[in-house]
Amino acid sequence: MNTVSNQSSGATLNTVTKQVMWNRLISVVEEQAQALIRTAFSTSVREAGDLSAGVYDEKGRMLAQAVTGTPGHVNAMAASVAHFIREIGVENMFEGDVYLTNDPWKGTGHLHDITVVSPSFFDGKLIGFFAATSHVVDIGGRGFGADAASVYEEGLYIPIMKLIDRNDVNQSLVNLIRANVREPDQVVGDIFALATCNGIGHDRLVEMMVEFSLEDLREISAFILENSKRATLERISSLQKGASIGKLTIDGYDNPIQLQANLEIQDQKVICDFTGSSGLDKKGINVPLVYTQAYACYALKCAIAPEIPNNAASLAPFEITAPENCILNALHPAPVALRHVVGQLIPDTVYNALDQILPETVPAEGSSTLCNFQLSLRPRTDQTPPPGARRGEVLTFNSGGAGARPTKDGLSATAFPSGVMTMPVEATEHAGPVIIWRKELKPDSGGVGKFRGGLGQFMDVGALEGHEFDFQAMFDRVNHPAKGRQGGGEGAATVIVRDNGEKMRGKGKQFVPHGQRVCLEFPGGAGYGQVGERSKDKIRDDFAKGYISKEQALTQYGLDQKDISQIESVIESGEFDKI
Amino acid sequence: MTDSRIRLGVDIGGTFTDVVLEKGGEQFSTKVLTTYIAPENGIIDGMNQVCAKAGIEPAEIGQIIHGTTLATNALIERRGAKTALITTDGFRDVIEMRTESRFEQYDLNLSLPEPLLPRYQRYTLPERINALGEVMVALDPNKVDAMVDRITAAGYESVAVGFLHSYINDSHERQVRDAFAAKAPQIMVSLSSEVSPQMREYERFNTAVANAYIKPLMKSYLGRLEQRLRDQGVACSIFLMHSGGGIISIESAAEFPVRLVESGPAGGAVFAADIAAKYGVDKVLSFDMGGTTAKICLIKDQTPKTSRVFEVARTYRFKKGSGMPISIPVIDMVEIGAGGGSLAHVDSMRQIRVGPESAGSEPGPACYARGGTQPAVTDADLVLGKLDPENFAGGSIRLNISNSEKALAESLGNELNMDAQTAAYGLVEVVDENMGNAARVHAVENGEDLSEYTMIAFGGAAPLHAGRLCEKLGVKRLLVPKGAGVGSAIGFLRAPFSFEANRSVFMRLSNFDASKISSLISELEQEATGFVQECIEGESSLSISAEYKVYMRYSGQGWEIPVSLTGAQAKEANQETFKRLFEEQYITLFGRPVEGMDIEITVWAVNATTPLPKPDLAETLRSRSKADQALSRSLFDPAIGESLKASIVDRNIMADGDYVDGPAAITEDETTIIVPSSRTAIKQPDGCIDVIVKAPVNLN
């Protein structure tokens, strides 16, 4: 009797310990990510959170991943570790090794992302891997932009190889990288930051192994994967079954691009295939399949199983496919540097399909693609520049409005699906001779509806006296603004002009002479539901806060002149909240 | 009449106002309910109580030190004044656009916190200063005057001014303040360049707005408090505890009330630092666990770690990014939603989750039998034998164990196929692990190895969990001080007068300018000592010393690490020394330096402080006699995974040097100290319970 009860309680107690270990692994990868942010050089990692970090079992199955700003890395990095195991071979892996690649098809979709993988040994035995990815400031080639015709023009291509072999740094590789990039110190610094953060993850893992007297990760791995799989399958099987097609037309580089998601919810899985999407583009906006899978999967997980952590088992029931050499499954050597511009519109495409099966779940379309641009500033060339004029490379991340939700307005100037942050204007102005003259919300840019789309933003950009610059545009939604759901209105489109009124293109490198500014209007999110159903209180609130103008309030939301005058007088006294 | 040996510490918390009076070596304390409408009433009540206990008149009190959550609560509850922001044209929405990101990546229905001021209370003026501090667009005095008229006509009480790059050049902000002083002196003005002179506009503007928002309220409260105290015959000076762990004058507090945010928890950290000093331990982890949250702080060399930015009013499960950033010198603490009242549930992966939702005091945990049906941490503690149902809170609440068992079984056990005790075990392991993880991450961020640390635990729930937390973190020694229930108020009495001045000024080591550094440092030192001087006027016995710190990084990195300098290193600045100190610190944190990179300094800070009162070193005893442990009960030990027979000892009857081996529970009115099987607890002469790793069994 006694023995039996001890055994059964032993089995359950074990479950408690395993829960504790699962929590610990999640905390280990969060530490890994923090270490990377604190030691990284590129602004996209340290200010904006464009990175990922995770831990894998000895078979390369992802056990835990840090929640960072990059859904684009969600399962790409997981697939990546499998490539490392296959190409290097377990028999060639040793303590003190570190491997890397920036292969867009075996990493995370473009040459600018470097993935570093470190094997974890415990008591001389390989027990798992740590991997981390971040975006480096430069990788040579034409620089960060869409203008290349093939991946060969986009920069240095590092196949899967050893960066460190049994604690010996491969100096030839480091020299080769240094010689091929514009900012060698920073790029090499970032690569070592990736190795450092894997090392910190490994140290924490070893502490856990000792504390719990573990010999390997097999048991905890099985526990995590089993529980995650069951939770995900339970969630999927509770969904309405069905199939639907979602479409989205976007700007493209020279010609519009059609995206199509063919979605099917089955009992045990969700299938999303992109047959019907446009073919490859000539310019570097093509998307490798890993990146397509990441964003499609992210969109589905947000809608279906948001709280289940990412790992091999929770991601497995989402099957994402696309025909070879369509724009969403670009094969080598297609140019892919700006794969995010198209890739970040995948969630809207998927939601256009999902909305037909699971109504009242997903948001209306949003600005979706980040409104990023890069400036290459230099001393003016039309005249002798003043002393002190200098060169500078400045990359900024910005966001338009997100789509309205079934029960809430869209978020203004907030990234979705990307999770990155913007850089402070004051920090950007320290990075190079640039002046941001304006960065504020754009009224009337949110699509009208029962729930209003998030507002886009105005941004005016110039250079310090004595400088001119090339403006590298990476925008979409110039000709194809976000569309509403359930009768909601369109979000405002992207606008890009010089301050002399001359129009500029949404993509590609464009020269801006001395003394001129670029005036940007980032797009708004679309509305959800009929505008006639919007509550009067919300309309008055929007007008008081300046989210909508007097004209829009009168013509589209139906406020009358009396309302307008009343609100105008109370906001002048700063007391709208009191009425 | 005043007696400088009599000092009063007052901490206004969310539920209780704690009052501690020290008279020579004696200590008298009381807890009264916080009186929200007029918090000064609670203070007067508490003061009279402790004065009566001590047999003195309020007029004899030599010094009053006060800390309060009122500033924090006003921000959380949005109960500030009618406030306007004046900012640079084109940047009206900085405090609303935040970082343009979502703090929770997978929630499609996320709401972002509303800015403190809505858009129509944010005004702009044409002006622009660049990153070098040069004026690109001058501020037109006529437009400033027109703005003052507009703000005055609208009836604003308080104004924040935040212009871009004002941390380098504050002339435009000062121009606006001067205009208000001339035309509308009744309106309170807060300048971002004064409240928080640091780069990054969102944090700086938001801090200035928060200061302006609570200034009328705090100024009025502090004025009333002073008046009421004077009416009671109090003749001494009144000081305020600030978030950085030091004391400032009531006038400075009224001018910069945002610096009072989190002053209570700061007092707790100072309390722990004082115990650390008494015991001569250099590396301490303070652990404060109450009803709804737990706070963890690193204390090195008896000084709590400080930081330059923190978040208040988190709106989403204590999640980073869901609150508003306040950029002021602050004691660096991790706060997580884990307290005695934190509730547990089972999630979709059949994992037990605990907090941050809390049962609060109404209905409270299920065992309070006031209608709570979800299991709280306290319920699990009770079922595991950590609490005595008959003697909780000095016997004032009788705990109902069957309610706890029912709640645990229904909410957790049935889902997970566990009995109530195993569910309770799972619950406490999860909450202890959550706290352990928070402590670990915090230590890693600071490059510290916790196994070298001593834990000091206070707050009602901490002694129940501290022993297990030590096991999890590899911490070998735990001190549970006396008076742990009013720790923050005692901490106020141990705090030095101090003020940190800081400035964002970029300098690369390749562009090292020793003379610029020397003038910057002396400017900061003057500012900081000025504030402290104001406090100690007339007390010539106190000297003021300065601590120097710079924040450095490799050029191109975004995160700085703090590097401490000696006075000589700061004033006779030398490039090589700066480089060496930075690299040493970097290696401690991240393992290896980055070769061949330029290094830059971003922020300069000088903290002026009066010397810490020298604590008497505690006499520590080895265990010498076994405490009377006639009583015992069954106590679950999670490290072993079984219930064991544990000794029950009353803390009050333990003699100095008495020891008790774990498993044991040391009981007192306010809480219970759980001693795990792996540890031994010794009563020290100052009343501390010293919990150490059990000596190996002697086999001879």
**Model confidence at B570: pLDDT above 60:** yes
How many whole angstroms separate alpha carbon B287 and alpha carbon B264? 14
Query: Crossing angle, helix A2-39 and helix A184-211, to 10 degrees?
Result: 170
Give the pLDDT of residue B540.
Answer: 61
Residue A311, both tokens:
């790992």
Of the three residues A229, A251, A282, the one that is the final residue of a domain is: A229
Residues 309-328 of A with CB under 8 A from B: 309
Residue A564 within any structural domain of the chain: no
Q: Which helix (H) or strand (E) holds B262?
A: none
Q: Which part of chain B has CATH 3.30.420.40?
A: 1-68
Strand partners, A249: A258
**Is B429 in Cβ contact with A189 (below 8 Å)?**
no
Give the range of the structural domain holding residue A189, as residue numbers without chain letter.
Answer: 2-229
**Is B93 in Cβ contact with A440 (below 8 Å)?**
yes
Using pLDDT thresholds of 50, 70 and 90, give the confidence band for residue B318. Answer: low
Residue A525 within any structural domain of the chain: yes
Higher pLDDT, B69 or B287: B287
Residues 437-476 of A with CB under 8 A from B: 437-441, 457-458, 460, 464
Whether A197 and A132 have beta carbons less than 8 Å apart is answered as yes
Of the three residues A182, A200, A229, the one that is the final residue of a domain is: A229
Other beta carbons within 10 angstroms of residue B160's beta carbon come to 31
**Phi/psi of residue A110, nearest 5 degrees:** -155, 165
- When divided into structural domains, chain A yields a total of 2
What class, spelled out in words, does domain B1-68 have in CATH? alpha beta
Distance from the A14 Cα atom to the nearest Cα atom in chain B, whole angstroms? 9
Residue A108, both tokens:
């995370």
How many whole angstroms separate alpha carbon B403 and alpha carbon B661? 31
A414, HSE (Cβ side, Cα atoms, 13 Å): 23
Which of B90, B111, B199 is opposite residue A408, by nearest beta carbon? Answer: B111
CB of A426 within 8 Å of a chain B CB? The answer is yes
Which of A71, A422, A547 is opposite residue B99, by nearest beta carbon? Answer: A422
Q: What is the pLDDT of residues A298-328, one digit of tens each?
A: 999 999 999 888 888 999 999 999 999 999 9
Residue A35 within any structural domain of the chain: yes
Whether A162 and A84 have beta carbons less than 8 Å apart is answered as no
Residue A174 within any structural domain of the chain: yes
First to last CA, chain A: 72
Residue A344 within any structural domain of the chain: no
Give the pLDDT of residue A579.
Answer: 57
Which of A186, A411, A437 is opposite residue B556, by nearest beta carbon? Answer: A186
Q: Which helix (H) or strand (E) holds B25?
A: none
Q: Which part of chain B has CATH 3.40.1360?
A: 76-219
Evaluated on CA atoms B266, B268, B270, B273, the torsion sign reads negative
Bridging pattern class, strands A318-321 and B158-162: unpaired
Residue A397 within any structural domain of the chain: yes
Which of A133-147, B116-130, B442-456, B504-518 shows the highest mean pLDDT?
A: B116-130
Whether B85 and B162 have beta carbons less than 8 Å apart is answered as yes
Q: Determine which of A7, A8, A12, A14 to mutate to test the interface with B (most B C-beta atoms within 10 Å).
A: A12
How many whole angstroms separate alpha carbon B539 and alpha carbon A287? 71
Give the pLDDT of residue B676.
Answer: 95
Using pLDDT thresholds of 50, 70 and 90, give the confidence band for residue B615. Answer: low
CB of A363 within 8 Å of a chain B CB? The answer is yes
DSSP of A90-112, one letter per residue?
Answer: GGG--TT-EEEE--TTTTTSSTT
CA-nearest of B302, B303, B320, B300 to B311 is: B320
Residues of B in contact with A47 (CB under 8 A): 558
CB of A358 within 8 Å of a chain B CB? The answer is no
Enter the DSSP assignment of B402: H
Whether B665 and B675 have beta carbons less than 8 Å apart is answered as yes
Burial label for A551, CB within 10 Å (0-12, 13-18, 19+), is exposed
Mean pLDDT over each residue of chain B, to the nearest integer: 89
Give the pLDDT of residue B668.
Answer: 85
**Is A415 in Cβ contact with B100 (below 8 Å)?**
yes
Give the pLDDT of residue B21.
Answer: 95
Of the three residues A199, A229, A259, the one that is the final residue of a domain is: A229
**Model confidence at B561: pLDDT above 80:** yes
Whether B368 and B399 have beta carbons less than 8 Å apart is answered as yes
**Is A308 in Cβ contact with B349 (below 8 Å)?**
yes
Which of B112, B164, B429 is opposite residue A425, by nearest beta carbon? Answer: B164
Please tell me the pTM assigned to this model.
Answer: 0.89
Q: How far is CA B492 from the centre of its chain?
A: 12
Q: CA A329 → CA A290, A296, A332, A335, A449, distances in Å? A: 8, 13, 10, 12, 35
Which of A37, A412, A464 is opposite residue B559, by nearest beta carbon? Answer: A37
Q: How far is CA B621 from the centre of its chain?
A: 32
Q: Determine which of A7, A14, A16, A197 to mutate to test the interface with B (most B C-beta atoms within 10 Å).
A: A16
CATH topology of domain B498-609: Dna Ligase; domain 1 (3.30.1490)
Evaluated on CA atoms A527, A533, A535, A536, the torsion sign reads positive
Locate the chain A residue with the closest alpha carbon to B128: A437
Rounded to 5°, the CA angle B629-B632-B634 comes to 150
Distance from the A282 Cα atom to the nearest Cα atom in chain B, whole angstroms? 32
**Model confidence at B542: pLDDT above 80:** no
Which of A231, A306, A413 is opposite residue B349, by nearest beta carbon? Answer: A231
H-state helical runs in A439-560: 536-544, 550-555
**Is B444 in Cβ contact with A200 (below 8 Å)?**
yes
Whether A434 and A375 have beta carbons less than 8 Å apart is answered as yes
Distance from the B574 Cα atom to the nearest Cα atom in chain A, whole angstroms? 24
Radius of gyration of chain B (CA): 26
CB of A118 within 8 Å of a chain B CB? The answer is no
Burial label for A116, CB within 10 Å (0-12, 13-18, 19+), is buried
Higher pLDDT, B653 or B175: B175
Please say whether the structural domain B76-219 has been given the CATH code 2.60.40.
no
CA-nearest of A479, A528, A531 to A507 is: A479
How many whole angstroms separate alpha carbon B66 and alpha carbon B349? 47
Residue A563 within any structural domain of the chain: no
Q: Which helix (H) or strand (E) holds B285?
A: strand B283-289
CATH topology of domain B263-338+445-492: Nucleotidyltransferase; domain 5 (3.30.420)
**Is B118 in Cβ contact with A576 (below 8 Å)?**
yes
**Is B429 in Cβ contact with A19 (below 8 Å)?**
yes
What's at B661, amino acid-wise?
D
Locate the chain B residue with the closest alpha carbon to A442: B93
How many whole angstroms separate alpha carbon A252 and alpha carbon A89? 40
Locate the chain B residue with the closest alpha carbon to A31: B441
Q: Which part of chain B has CATH 3.30.1490?
A: 498-609
Which of B111, B445, B596 is opposite residue A185, by nearest beta carbon? Answer: B596
DSSP of B322-384, one letter per residue?
Answer: SSEEE-S-EE-EEEES-STTEEEEE-TTS-EEEEEEE-TTTT-SGGG-SS--S-BHHHHHHHT
Other beta carbons within 10 angstroms of residue A356's beta carbon come to 14
Q: Determine the average pLDDT of the residues in B190-217.
A: 95
Give the pLDDT of residue B447.
Answer: 64
Return the number of CB contacts < 8 Å for A and B: 235
How many whole angstroms separate alpha carbon B613 and alpha carbon A462? 56
Give the pLDDT of residue B309.
Answer: 82
Which of B82, B89, B445 is opposite residue A34, by nearest beta carbon? Answer: B445
Bridging pattern class, strands B658-661 and A98-101: unpaired
Q: Which residues of chain A have pLDDT under 50?
A: 1-13
Interacting residues of A465 by C-beta distance below 8 A, sequence separation 6+? A386
Q: Determine the average pLDDT of the residues in B605-611.
A: 88
**Phi/psi of residue B63, nearest 5 degrees:** -165, 140
Give the pLDDT of residue A317.
Answer: 95
Give the pLDDT of residue B70.
Answer: 86
